Amino acid sequence: MEMEFTKEEKAFQQEVRDFLDQHLPKGQDIWTKRAEWFQALKDKGGWDVPKWPKEFGGPGWSPVQHYIWEAETSNHAMPITLPFGQVMLAPIIMRYGSKEQQERFLPDIRDNKINWCQGYSEPGAGSDLAALKTKAELSVDGSHYTVNGTKIWTTMAHMADWIFCLTRTDSSGAKQEGVTFLLFNVKSPGVTIKPIYTLGNSHHVNQVFFDNVEVPVENRIGEEGKGWTYAKGLLQHERSGIAGISRSIAALDKLKRNVKSVKSGDEMQIEDPTFKRKLAQAEIELRALEFAELQSMTAAQAGGEPGPASSILKLVGTQMQQRIQELTVEAAGVYALNWGFKKAGPKFSKTGMESYLFGRAATVYGGCSEVQKDVIAKKVLGIRN
């Protein structure tokens, strides 16, 4: 498969490069310029919310333009925003939320005034998400829900202001039925957040407990009991983003540059036949994955949703992320063991091990690899038990 940008797409690619060259902070902490960066993106015409349609203030980019943006920005250190609000929740509010909810929530999501977290997984409902038991009972007067239960592996809940949460409002039918999608403030009475420390002793996930938390009925997205439909759409957007193919391409290119300065015995690491073969194999498979992503743009270009094919990108994309992390640790050798202490060896050895430990979860969150294989078998290949 050959990919050739049109004249207009090449012009857009150059426009992105010129913008990055002009506005990305140089020689200083990018986070001190965070507000200026996002304002410049907004002034450009919705570039601060690249995946939003024009009617909601986004640039209305084509899938190819999105691809170009991801490819160009993956090569730069730049201020980022967490995906929970802008990338995951916003499309659901745009499609299923009321006009009042769109006017209430979308401006603050866009301006990063509210941090969001995702209340999906539970201790007994991870890969089998539809088995969730967090209960929401509608009050007699119909004014609010009372939520009781717990969510786990809730990323950045300790830094969030609000949560979008799947709750059980009816247990009489199939487990995919009776699920309701609620939004509420995590500072509400009855919400308790406890940290979970992962490999590398980092704190980014939590367990969140709900004890008689009252949620106004106007914070329900769509119809009661239809939350599973909305959740599936959100997961497709999430899985497409988790694949991180452009970031993996940038990471592999960086690794190839790094190993040129690392010795393996009497020769440079990059010249070691076994390691060179591993790099080449990873690059071949990564480029094949990139072409799969490009092919998926055909449906998206016609206005389609990510669909179940996003599971293919998520499955292989996260496996590729881990492969590159493993190669980075292998290249660092014994110095990778020194990651949490005094710096020693190649500069990338410390960050390489940190990425390796953090990345072990990539094939679990957003739907574990086993679940993705099941989705691919049933929804893409049409295989039935």
Q: How confident is the chain (385 residues) per 10-residue block, as mean pLDDT?
A: 79 96 77 85 95 94 88 85 91 95 97 94 88 97 98 96 97 92 98 92 93 98 94 67 85 91 78 91 92 71 63 90 94 79 75 87 85 86 80
- Give me the helix-helix angle, 348-359 and 245-258, nearest 10°: 150
What is the CATH code for 116-228? 2.40.110.10
Which residues have C-beta within 8 Å of that of residue 132, sequence separation ≥ 6? Answer: 120, 122, 125, 149, 166, 167, 168, 179
Q: What is the dihedral of CA 43, 47, 52, 55, to 10 degrees?
A: 30
Closest CA to 204 of 51, 372, 354, 37: 354
Domains 116-228 and 244-380 in one fold? no
Domain ranges of the chain: 7-80, 116-228, 244-380
pLDDT, residue 268, reads 79
Q: What fold characterizes domain 244-380?
A: Butyryl-CoA Dehydrogenase, subunit A; domain 3 (1.20.140)
Yes or no: say if 212 and 144 are a contact pair by the CB < 8 Å rule.
no
User: Coil, helix or strand for 209?
Assistant: strand
pLDDT, residue 72, reads 92
pLDDT, residue 1, reads 45
